[in-house]
Structure 1
Amino acid sequence: MSGPPDSKAQSPGYRTLLRTPKAWAFVVPGLAARQPLAMLTISMVLLVRHATGSYGTAGAAAAITGASMALCAPRSGRLADRYGQRAVLLPAIALHALSVLGVVALAATGITAWWLLAAAVPVGATVPQIGPMVRARWAVALDDPSSPLMQTAAAFESVSDEFTFVVGPVLATALCTGVHPAAGLVAEASLTVAGGALFAAQRLSEPPAHRVSASSGVAHASALSLPGVRALVVAFLGVGAVFGGMQVSLAAFTQEIDRPGLNGVLYGMFAAGNMLAGAAYGAVSWRHGPRTRLLAAYAGLTVACAPLWAAHSLALLSVLPLIAGAFIGPTIVTAYSLVDALVPRTVRTEAFTWLTGAVAFGQAIAVTVAGLLTDAQGSSAGFAVPLAGTALALAVLAGLRAHLLPHPAGRAVTGGIGHRPPVSVD
């Protein structure tokens, strides 16, 4: 039976990664299935704005959707670990599509804004967690937490996520403005069902379910019970603060200089820095361990966010977001690759969903705070949110750095003793 490529004998390049047996069977459907998520927020904003005439209500609906997803995603991941991805994914895509169509129907009736805000809760709660599921499949396909290809896989998935968030908002905006205000959400629901069903059909690459019988008296603990996961969650809350603060503050800045059309260009520079740096970072064999690299990347991100609040020119804000984005990619790639070494496979999908949920929650908070600050004092005040979020997260991450060292023999969170292959440490 063929296994993953001999990563010790080959460089951790993308060509080597994609020669992993069964990889293409879940990579392509996974990319298609996660595309709707990149369309969701802007589609919700544009429809609710059309229905209520209020950007404030539209922003609140988007924030509620993101917060709801962040709170419910870990539970979805935990169920996927216990019962299998297909068993969780098929009901999720059906419930999500129905929830989205419910928002569309409410918007068409001209109902009060409070009903639309309430309807945003199930929309976020039922978002299928495709990204974490794909990452869990890479961990199974490579079957070696110490493999340098784990970092490459994390980088590949980070670039894939960024690609969807480049395409998704453009597609959703074109549908909402060129076809109908509800067209973006209708397309999002349709693609969720089609892409999610296609991904769920890939049974050969699906991680095995880790069920525990009731008679054993042992229950799965949450991945959040692991101190290392909690440290990474804090780091990703800070990353979410950068995303949310950038979105609001760049939009406010381009309005202040009366060139709102440049908002997409400036945010695109930020996304480009993220995507390119993540791709380059994942193709390099690093001498230092993942803990050192994570702390260095996060410190660089904090420093890169520092001058944003003082930049008042278009020239500076064309370059500074690119630099900040260049530190986001390595931070995310290293954190995701650390999960594979820190977390038992019985709760791996749940651990990934805690991180993606933390980004969504941090972004929801940052959008709200940055919006209030920019309304009161302008875009410069909004740019303080990424700095504050990353500085606080860096302090916590540094304090918890002892928990970011992978252990050769890990303690499983099911109550027994689980043994993993030795991994490199700092």
Structure 2
Amino acid sequence: MAVAPTVTDSARPGYGQLLRTPGAWTFLLPGFAARQPFAMLTIGIVLLVEHTTGSYGQAGAVAAVTGVSMALFAPQSGKLADRFGQRAVLLPGVLVHAASVSALTWLALAEAPMWALFAAAVPAGASVPQVGPMVRARWAARLDGSPLMPTAAAFESVTDEFTFVVGPVLATALCTGVHPAAGLIAEAGLTLVGGLLFAAQKRTQPPVVRTAADGATAPRASALSVPGVRVLVVSFLGIGSVFGGMQVSITAFSEQIGNPGINGVLYGVFAAGNMLAGIACGAIAWKSGPLRRVLIGYAGLTLAASTLWAVDSALLLALVGLVVGLCIAPALIGGYTLVDSLVPATARTEAFTWLTGAVALGQALAVTAAGRLTDSGGASAGFTVPLIGTALALVTLVALRSRLAPPRDPDGTADSGRIAARSASGVDHRSPATVD
């Protein structure tokens, strides 16, 4: 495994040092292309199915099936990647995804019945390549024990948010300016090309742990068997509720005030807040641990979301949305940093995909709930979904925070040497690292 750049006590672990990690660019560039489809799939389905059926309800239903399918199957993909290697999972996965999205596109253009669209949406969602978690696992493998790990978590959060800014805009431009199916066709093409290029970077993928006796893959427990991972999965449903609730409610609010064109601007401000906070989180040399940052982040997110239902102007919604976005990144980055301290290296990719899947599931549930609430009570009712989701997540975290404590040695005492060695970054690992 390549050695991460040296970080001295007087140096602040920043993005420049992170990006000088040997081999980083070989998986970052193809990884960015391969993760774009994740942000393009939902909007591409909505625009195409609405064009062929004339119903946003039917389009949203097909998109929701895709989201739920991805949330359910993503952790299994991560578990297989940990067991057999990322390349072994990506190669068949991108082929299945490209084929299923192509089938869904053809069925929609042929005005096939809804059951046929649902049938194609299931494999399309289940086969979404989990490139984001795989990139995080590669960072974790190369930076094990380094104070740069929180910076990597922040960098990935910014990349994810940038993806969700660029992806929908690209898909919308293709669907409206070229052809209604162009968004999904581009999504399938990017998945195929980007996924294959990413899979080709064998040198940087995390190694598969095998027994010394016979070379067989060592048995390993699921990441979900760790109590702290289950707590984080539940809490990440709350983050998904913010994304889903904001998408629907901002759209309803824009139409309610008679200015539907401002929808993209308002959501862009919300996304920009998340990006800015993510950049700041990576530039700060944290003295507090990730658990404390997660708790503070969720408390701030719940407080900010509690004001959404009362907004009555586009300017006020933009300001509140910016604050909500600023609060997401600390909670999201802290959670990804924390989960890396709770699971062994053999379950990293699976653990990251459980969190990603939880966000997708929370988003799908929030879109459905917010849609029904806005139909009956307007945008204000829809904005209660992020509040309820984040409040429940905060209660869960506070009540079960003891399960998120750092791992202990067999004698039941905390490994104070290991914790002290990583106190500057707030990162802990099961495997002790050599400290100079």
Q: Same fold (TM over 0.5)?
A: yes
Distance in 2 (alpha carbons) for counterparts of 1:237 and 1:149: 27
| Residues 1:298 and 1:201: Cα distance change in structure 2 (over 3 Å) | same
Which stretch shows the higher mean deviation, 347-356 or 30-39? 30-39
SS at match of 1:57: helix
Is the alpha carbon distance of 1:2 and 1:182 closer, same or farther for their aligned partners in structure 2, counting shifts above 3 Å?
A: closer
Q: Is the 8 A contact 2:83 2:217 kept in 1?
A: no
The unaligned stretches of length 5 or more in structure 1 are 412-419
Deviation of the 1:148 alpha carbon: 2.3
Give yes or no for the alignment of 1:136 onto 2:99: no
CA distance in 1, matches of 2:398, 2:352: 21
Distance 2:298 2:230 in 1: 16
What does residue range 28-107 of structure 1 map to in structure 2 within 5 Å? 28-107=29-108
Asked if structure 2 preserves the Cα contact closer than 8 Å seen for 1:305 and 1:324, the reply is yes
In structure 2, the CA distance between the partners of 1:171 and 1:76, relative to structure 1 (3 Å rule), is same
**Residue in structure 2 matched with residue 169 of structure 1 by the alignment:** 168
Moved more, 55-64 or 400-409: 400-409
Q: In structure 2, give the amino acid aligned to 1:61.
A: V
Give the direction of change, closer, same or farther, for the CA distance of 1:4–1:372 in structure 2 (3 Å limit). Answer: same
Structure 1 length normalisation: TM-score?
A: 0.94
**Aligned counterpart, 2:285:** 285
Q: 2:25 corresponds to which residue?
A: 24
Letter of the 1:107 partner, please give it: A
Alpha-carbon shift at residue 179 of structure 1 (Å):
1.1
Which residue is equivalent to 2:394? 394
Deviation, 1:174, is: 0.9
Change (3 A) 1:404 1:22: same
Q: How far, CA to CA, are the matches of 1:309 and 1:214 in structure 2?
A: 61
Please tell me whether the aligned partners of residues 245 and 382 of structure 2 are also in contact (alpha carbons under 8 angstroms): yes
Question: 1:410 Cα deviation (Å)?
Answer: 8.4
What is the one-letter code of the residue matched to 1:141?
Answer: R
SS in 1 for 2:194: helix
1:293-316 deviation digits (Å, cap 9, x = unpaired): 110111000000001011122221
- Cα deviations by residue, 1:282-341 (Å, 9 ceiling, x for unpaired): 110122111111101110000000010111222210100000000101111111111221
Q: Quote the sequence identity (%).
A: 63
AA in 2 matched with 1:60? A
Aligned partner letter, 1:197: L
2:79/2:350 contact within 8 Å kept: yes
Which one is further off, 24-33 or 402-411?
Answer: 402-411
Take 1:385 and 1:87, find their aligned partners in 2: how far apart are those partners? 39
* Secondary structure at the counterpart of residue 378 of structure 1: helix
Secondary structure of the residue aligned to 1:204 is: helix
For 1:204, the equivalent position in structure 2 comes to: 203
Q: CA deviation at 1:105?
A: 1.3
Is 1:382 the equivalent of 2:388?
Answer: no
- The CA deviation string for residues 355-392 of structure 1, in whole angstroms up to 9 with x for no partner, is 00000000000000000000001000000000000001
Matched position secondary structure for 2:202: coil
Q: Show structure 2 runs of 5+ residues with no match.
A: 412-416, 428-436
Measured against aligned partners, the alpha-carbon deviations of 1:24-79 in whole angstroms (never above 9, x if no partner) come to 11111111111111111100101111121110000011111111000000000000
Structure 1 residue 407: deviation in Å?
A: 2.2
Alignment of 1:122-161 (within 5 A): 122-144=123-145, 147-161=146-160
Distance 1:155 1:217 in 2: 32
* Cα deviation, residue 141, structure 1: 1.1
- Secondary structure of the equivalent of 1:127? coil
Q: Report the counterpart of residue 226 of structure 1 in structure 2.
A: 226
CA drift of 1:409 comes to 4.4
Alignment root-mean-square deviation, CA? 2.0
3-state SS of the aligned residue for 2:306?
helix
Tell me which residue corresponds to 1:112.
Answer: 113
2:91, 2:199 within 8 Å by CA — same for their partners in 1?
yes
Q: Give the aligned length.
A: 416
Matches within 5 A, 1:159-308: 159-211=158-210, 219-308=219-308
State the alpha-carbon separation in 1 of the partners of residues 266 and 2 from structure 2: 46
SS at match of 1:238: helix
Q: Which amino acid aligns with 2:116?
A: W
Displacement over 4 Å in runs of 4+ = 211-218, 408-411, 420-423
SS of the residue corresponding to residue 307 of structure 2 reads: helix
Offset, 1:214: 10
The CA distance in 2 between the partners of 1:358 and 1:410, in whole Å, is 31
Deviation for aligned residue 1:272: 0.2
Secondary structure in 2 matching 1:286: coil
